[in-house]
Structure 1
Amino acid sequence: MNTMTYNGSHACIGFDAEDDVFFGKIAGISDVIGFHGDSVAELKKAFHEAVDDYLKTCRKIGKEPQRPSSGKMMVRVAPEVHRFFAHDQDTC
């Protein structure tokens, strides 16, 4: 799967050869937001419109928009491990 990013949202992109259409779904949130286009340009436009519409709808109904995970995770490690990774490894 390919991905696209716009305004902090990420989407998984695919192609349906039978229907000859590109399609996508905003990833990392439980709200289901899909879009499609007959070309890459149309797909990008539809993705941007879907994100903008989602944010506008959330504002209108007073809902906090869901955001995908940042990918960061805090983990405790031993001080010597932290020191090892905290220093510039190119100088070792």
Structure 2
Amino acid sequence: MSSILEYKGYHASIEYDAEDNIFVGEVIGITDSLNFHGTSVDEVKEMFKQSIDNYLILCKK
């Protein structure tokens, strides 16, 4: 099962890894590889937002 999150126009595919008991996300639609994870739905959503914010700061530099 996978789901899609959206933040600031960016999208991420989220899957649950039963073996590691975590949610794993990957930002889609960009040329860079941007991945994140969390142990809860709220945590993975927050990590996605942080990943995008950090990515945008890096792109500005």
Report TM bin, short chain: over 0.9
Extract unaligned runs of 5+ from structure 1. Answer: 61-92
CA shift, 1:30, in A, is 1.5
Aligned equivalent of 2:27: 26
SS of the residue corresponding to residue 22 of structure 1 reads strand
List 4+ stretches of structure 1 deviating above 2 A. Answer: none
Greater gyration radius: 1
Scaled by the length of structure 1, the TM-score of the pair is 0.64
Extract unaligned runs of 5+ from structure 2. Answer: none
CA RMSD of aligned residues (A): 0.5
Q: Which has the higher contact order (CA 8 A, sep 6+)?
A: 2
Scaled by the length of structure 2, the TM-score of the pair is 0.95
The yes-or-no answer on 1:38 pairing with 2:35 is no
Q: Percent sequence identity over matched residues?
A: 45
Distance 1:28 1:5 in 2: 12
Q: Kindly tell me the number of residue pairs found equivalent between the two proteins.
A: 60
Higher strand share: 2
Distance 1:30 1:16 in 2: 24
CA shift, 1:34, in A, is 0.3
